[in-house]
Chains A and B, each alone.
Chain A
Amino acid sequence: MNVTEWMPFIVLIPLIAGPICILLPGQRLPWLLAMLSAASALIIAGFTFAEVITNGTLRYAFGNWQPPIGIEYRVDAANAFVALLITGMASIMLAWGKPTVDVEIPERQSSFYALFLLAFAGLLGITLTGDIFNVFVFLEISSLATYALIAHGQDRRALVAAFRYLMMGTVGATFLLIGIGFLYIMTGTLNMMELAERLPALADSRATQVGLAFIVVGFSIKLALFPMHHWLPNAYTYAPSLVTAFLAATATKVALYVLLRFVFTVFAPDYSDAAMPLAIAFAVLAIAGMFAGSWIAIFQKNLKRLLAYSSVAQVGYMVLGASFVTVVGVTASFLHLFNHGLIKGALFMAAGIVFHQIGSARLEDMRGLGRVMPWTLTGFALAGLSLIGIPPTVGFVSKWYLISAAIDAGQTWIVVLILISSLLAVVYIAKLIELFWMQPRPADSPVVQEASPALLIPLWLMVFANFYFGIDTRLTVGGATAAAQAILGVPVGGLP
């Protein structure tokens, strides 16, 4: 099998399946199509990743129009790694989420799944493409689909959340468009590799610097980097459970990947740092986000919103790794990108199951729930331990790498800040665990049953993955290292 020929189908399968999905009747068929396309995309992404790791970068020019005229897909270890995460998450989320969708969106599921596929295809497109305008187009495809998906939430505030996200998201995307415009005006090309060749000659140009600034701000909004995170908590809180879990595990990750791609590959790492103090800006915002997100999370009364603020904090960890501008630092960033996908995916899945069973995401309705729904909430607690960074979980591996990177970069004081902020995570997770198990269930609370195995098995698969990749780190650390080397332009080696 020629992997290069198949690689574009990672994006094309969901993109084509999306419109077909609308035409399918009933509840089962659209889901089945979505599931199938996600699974096949996962399989191709798996082969692509293996191929990229062993044989290096893959290139595919659409319609055989070679760049700079045509659009090129250029897959190295970095985007193959991210694509693997997205397709894997989409597959497991779809396998898990059908019962929740049946309850939360009883009607017109075909259009829901079609939107889901479009959002999915958009994220993959951003990841795989080597053309910066194509990034914008796919970003808008996924964003528009996401706005509509969020608006599917049962609570009417979901509409407002979607509208506000639309406003901020479009501003971010337009900023990106402006930045792309500046780069195109200055260099005359849209291909990332050609840009990387031509930009050093324009190092002193004010226009390219402005372009970079627009691009960084545009993606930071999508990434929910503090203080541009305002859209995220409401969007995650009111979106349907499946959408929340999927977005939490993938959307911000893709934004981070593409931001790093621009800052480190399109612009050289030292350029991004010299033209603007990007590394310092990232470090400051990341640390502010780590503290603010965790701190706000402690006081939340809604489970999904609590987890959303925790995501804001975790984005901080990912950006912090990259701000060291070293291979170890960017490795820590990619590692946490993957690992946090696993952690938050599991947590939001568990939260979704609770919502499915009790019909509420308010914490006060969850007192003593651990005895009633032991499987769900044990899964939640284990994923929570992973979020805190207790060994042997993926969260620990992430933290280890991040601290290593900070010591490696000589930033001892950042180690202290990382540790303090991760203790804040202990506070809100411990608060939840206490609420679930150490408090009695109120006498007047409605009768609740444990969820069905259809919901629990995928959750436990995710929990298991949290532990498995916490012990066997060859795939994650190897992939993240290769990704960091690829994105920083260091020669790519095989898996260690």
Chain B
Amino acid sequence: MLDWIPTVSPLSVVLIPFIGAALIALAASRPFLRDLFCWLTPIPFFIAVLGQLPNVLAGAGGTQALVALLPGLEIGFAIKPLGMMFALLASTLWLLATPYALGYLKHAGHSNIGRFMACYAIALGAAAGIAFSENLLTLYIFYEILSISTYPLVAHSGDKTSRDGARTYIALLLVTSVGLMLPAMVWIWQATGTLSFTSGGILSGEMLSPAAGALLLVLLLFGIGKAALMPFHRWLPAAMVAPTPVSALLHAVAVVKAGVFSVLTVVLYIFGLDYIVTLATHPFMLYLAVFTMLAASLVAIQQDNLKARLAYSTVSQLAYIVTGALLAVDLAAIGGGMHMLMHGFGKITLFFCAGAIYLGSGIKTISAMDGLGRRMPVTMIAFFIGALCVIGLPPTGGFWSKLYLVTGAWSAGHYVVVGAFMLSTLLNIGYLLPPVMRAFLKPPADEQKIAKAKEAPLLCLIPLSLTALGTIVLFFAAGAAFNLLSPAIP
């Protein structure tokens, strides 16, 4: 079906957004040209990513070794099913997020659009680099590029709150990656002489003392700060000072999914499912993830600011995926991988809606949303569908991923985790449906404000409708995702 697309090398795929970013930056002072490049860059990127799919499905994803950074330590790419899914998710949503971002920025009167869109493109290139990494070092390089390139986006508006938020953001991400992940990486390299992602893991009990293995697990899981495991989750709410397109594509999809993708990859291909369950810290980390899942949901319920609520919801949903990885059974790992996809579509819809609500009515808090559904029906219906997907109710894709996660936990015998999943789903309902109910069922609290509200511009409205539609399509297409992912688990 996809044979007509030429298959290019992984490096070329990764380079497309970077080239696009350079073009956008160079054309920053010419609005027409700049917008043209912004529109055009995601398209070849998407096609190039899609072109990798047939080979991955055939079990022979492209590989490419670039240079030896240090003797015996190469920068290289290898496309594996999990990475393929992440890249497809990011490239698809970038296609939709670009018009949204341009529409949002212009409508909200932001300046420096060139810098913004260039960094946006770099972040996507870095996400693709993470997805296609052949080894931990390559992953780390793109991980850091992603952190750095999103910093200007978070601080974009340049006032004091956004500077403070951006400072927390970059500080936490760099402290965890430089302070914990880097030494863990050097340590693994010293112990095994390789950092390649290998099916079944490269670490084993013979190479490391039990204490060392246990410490490495902690270092890596906390070191991948983008997975927002508590107590290193503060950067995600802090990042909400960014313009909504950033929160939508990056802090609901690219950045956080890069984090959980890294966790999944590390668990599957560095530790290996068999080795990880023998580590002394494994139960602790598993229950920390479960705790994060519940605690973040509880915090989310108390947030009145819509974006803050969504941010804590993201922290909680990421913990689902980490839990799925740490359950160390194949069904749960596949469920984690699928939840990356499903939550990505669901959460970007919610953020798109939050941005559209702000643009259309100036409302940022949930308490002010009473009666908004009559003025912004499309947005609120999309919000409802997105919420269903994040909660995990049919007919949306989120249903399948949560089903696999729960089944996986059940088959692993972790009944406490099963209970936690259930409880957390109830909490999801508790924080995601009230905005919808307020908007549709309650009479307007502030008549004047609501009366002035109108749907956001089409550039914003169409993408959010499409992603909402996407969550429903995924309900029926989940089998394809399962087939793509299942070879990833040994």
Seen from chain A, the residues whose Cβ lies within 8 Å of a Cβ on chain B are: 371, 385, 388-392, 396-397, 399-401, 403-404, 407-408, 415-416, 419-420, 422-423, 426, 430, 434, 437-440, 470-474, 477, 496
* CB pair B148 A420 closer than 8 Å: no
- For B183, give its contact among A371, A419, A496 (CB under 8 Å): A419
Complex: how many Å from CA A416 to CA B180? 9
Q: Is the CB of A400 within 8 A of B179?
A: no
CB of B231 within 8 A of chain A?
Answer: no
Interface residues of B in 401-438 (CB under 8 A from A): none
CB pair A403–B71 under 8 Å, yes or no, is no
A472 CA / B67 CA spacing, docked (Å): 7
Q: Find out whether the CB atom of A473 lies under 8 angstroms from the CB atom of B70.
A: yes
Please give the number of chain B residues whose Cβ is less than 8 angstroms from any Cβ of chain A in the complex. Answer: 33
Asked if B186 CB lies within 8 Å of chain A CBs, one says yes
Contact with A along B13-35 (1 / 0, CB 8 A): 00000000000000000000000
Most buried by B among A391, A401, A408, A416: A391
Question: A389-B178, A407-B190, A440-B158 in contact; A496/B69 too (CB < 8 A)?
Answer: no
Confirm or deny: B441 has a beta carbon within 8 angstroms of a beta carbon on chain A. Answer: no
Q: Which A residues lie within 8 Å of B190 (CB)? A: 404, 407-408
Residues of chain B contacted by A399 (CB below 8 angstroms)? 182
Asked if B170 contacts A430 (CB within 8 A), the reply is: yes
User: Which residue of A392, A403, A438 is within 8 Å of B141 (Cβ)?
Assistant: A392
Contact residues, B159-192 vs A (CB, 8 A)? 162-163, 166-167, 170-171, 174-175, 178-179, 182-183, 186-187, 189-190
Which listed residue, B67, B71, B140, B163, touches A434 by the CB 8 Å rule? B163
Contact A471 B144 (CB under 8 A): no
Give 26 CB contacts A-B under 8 Å: A371-B112, A390-B148, A391-B140, A391-B144, A397-B69, A399-B182, A401-B70, A403-B182, A403-B183, A403-B186, A407-B186, A407-B187, A407-B190, A415-B183, A416-B183, A419-B179, A420-B179, A423-B179, A426-B171, A434-B163, A437-B152, A438-B162, A439-B158, A470-B69, A472-B67, A474-B68
Partner of B178, one of A401, A423, A470, A473: A423
CB pair A471 B67 closer than 8 Å = yes
CA distance A34 to B380 in the complex (A): 71
Distance (Å) between the CB of A423 and the closest chain B CB? 6
Is residue B333 within 8 Å, beta carbon to beta carbon, of the partner chain? no
Q: A423 to B174, Cβ gap below 8 A?
A: yes
Residues of A within 8 A of B158 (CB): 438-440
Contacts A392-B69, A423-B175, A477-B71 aside, 14 further interface pairs with beta carbons under 8 A come to A371-B112, A391-B141, A391-B145, A400-B182, A403-B183, A404-B190, A416-B183, A422-B178, A426-B170, A426-B178, A430-B170, A471-B69, A471-B75, A477-B70
Main SS class of interface, A: helix
| Nearest residue, chain A, Cβ from B156 | A438
B84 at the interface (CB under 8 A from A): no
Given contacts A420-B179, A423-B174, A438-B158, contact A390 B69 (CB under 8 A): no
Chain B residues with Cβ below 8 Å from A423 are 174-175, 178-179
**B155 and A438 within 8 A (CB):** yes
Q: A440 to B70, alpha carbons, bound, how many Å? A: 42
B10 vs chain A, min Cβ distance (A)? 16
Please encode chain B, from 56 to 99, with 1 for each CB lying within 8 Å of some chain A CB and 0 for all others. Answer: 00000000001111110001000000000000000000000000
The digit string for B196-226, where 1 denotes a CB below 8 A from any CB of A, is 0000000000000000000000000000000
Expressed in whole angstroms, the Cα–Cα distance for A437 and B174 within the complex equals 19
Give the distance to chain B from A395, nearest Cβ to Cβ, in Å.
Answer: 11
The reply to whether B148 and A385 form a contact with Cβ atoms under 8 Å apart is yes
| Interface residue ranges of B328-349 to A (CB < 8 Å) | none
Least CB distance from A110 to B in Å reads 41
Contact A496 B174 (CB under 8 A): no
Which has the most chain B C-beta neighbours within 10 Å: A407, A420, A438, A477? A438
**Chain A residues whose CB sits within 8 angstroms of the CB of B148 once the complex forms:** 385, 390
Q: Which residues of B contact A391 (CB under 8 A)?
A: 137, 140-141, 144-145
Query: Could you tell me the distance between the alpha carbons of A249 and B71 in the complex, rounded to whole angstroms?
Result: 26
A331 → chain B, closest Cβ, in Å? Answer: 11
Closest to B174 in A: A426
Pick the contact of B71: A408, A420, A438, A496 (CB < 8 A): A496
* Bound complex: CA A135 to CA B70 (Å): 34
**Which residues of chain A are within 8 angstroms of B66 by Cβ–Cβ distance?**
471
Q: Which of B68, B137, B145, B167 contacts A430 (CB 8 A)?
A: B167
Q: Which residues of A contact B69 (CB under 8 A)?
A: 392, 397, 470-471, 473
* Alpha-carbon gap, A420 to B183, bound state (A): 12
Q: Across chains A and B, which 5 residue pairs bring their CB atoms closest together, nearest first?
A: A391-B141, A403-B186, A419-B179, A390-B144, A438-B155
List chain B residues, Cβ under 8 A from A371: 112
CA distance A440 to B112 in the complex (A): 12
CB distance from A472 to the nearest CB of B (A): 6
Chain B residues in 8 Å Cβ range of A403: 182-183, 186
User: Which chain A residue shows the least CB distance to B180?
Assistant: A419
Distance from B113 Cβ to chain A, minimum over Cβ atoms (Å)? 13
Question: Which of B167, B179, B182 has the most chain A CB atoms closer than 10 A to its own CB?
Answer: B182
List of A residues within 8 angstroms of B163 by Cβ: 434, 438
- Name the residue of chain A whose CB is nearest to the CB of B179: A419
Query: How far is B162's CA from A340's CA once the two chains are assembled, in angstroms?
Result: 33
Greatest chain A CB density within 10 A among B68, B69, B148, B170 is at B69
> With the chains together, A438 CA to B164 CA distance in Å?
11
Check A404/B67 contact, CB under 8 A, given A426-B178, A430-B167, A438-B158.
no
Chain B residue contacts of A438, Cβ below 8 A:
155, 158, 162-163, 166
Give bound CA distance, A397 to B178, whole Å. 13
Asked, given contacts A391-B144, A430-B167, A439-B158, whether A419 binds B182 with beta carbons under 8 Å apart, the answer is yes
CA distance A419 to B152 in the complex (A): 24
Shortest B133–chain A CB gap in Å is 12
Complex interface: chain A residues within 8 A of B182 (CB): 399-400, 403, 419
